[in-house]
Amino acid sequence: MTLVLKTAILIFGFSLTIGLSPVAYSDATKIAELSDSINKNLAARDWDAVDENYEEIYSVYQSDHGAVSSQALAMAKVLGQWKIQAYRHGLLSESPE
């Protein structure tokens, strides 16, 4: 397993700990679906899809808890860590080569 994949999995694992905070049922379902999608996309190394999934989860936390809530800020940290790693390793289609 490459360092990039290990890092992506660690970041994803941290993001799941944020999901322990109460959210509306439909949002919890959406987060679970997106989490499953992230797992599948990590396994497939579909980095652009992983990026979209993280963006969607962040949007759910923002709309459910508010943009400056501790939950949304924690998810912003996860999203930021992912973006930094993806950029450093040129994983996303818009990353410089």
Instruction: Please write the tens of the pLDDT for every residue from 1-57.
Output: 565 666 666 566 656 555 545 455 577 788 889 988 998 999 999 999 999 999 999
The number of residues making up the chain comes to 97
Q: What is the per-residue pLDDT for 20? A: 43
Q: Which domain holds residue 83?
A: 3-88
pLDDT digits (tens, 9 = 90+) for 33-42: 998 899 899 9
Q: In this structure, is residue 93 part of a structural domain?
A: no
Q: In this structure, is residue 65 part of a structural domain?
A: yes
Q: Is 51 exposed, middle or buried (0-12, 13-18, 19+ CB in 10 A)?
A: buried
Q: In this structure, is residue 81 part of a structural domain?
A: yes
Instruction: Identify the CA nearest to 72 among candidates 83, 62, 80.
Output: 62
d(CA 73, CA 58): 9
d(CA 26, CA 53): 16
Q: In this structure, is residue 94 part of a structural domain?
A: no
- Model-wide pTM > 0.75: no
Number of domains in the chain: 1
pLDDT digits (tens, 9 = 90+) for 53-87: 999 999 998 988 889 988 889 889 989 999 998 99
Q: In this structure, is residue 80 part of a structural domain?
A: yes
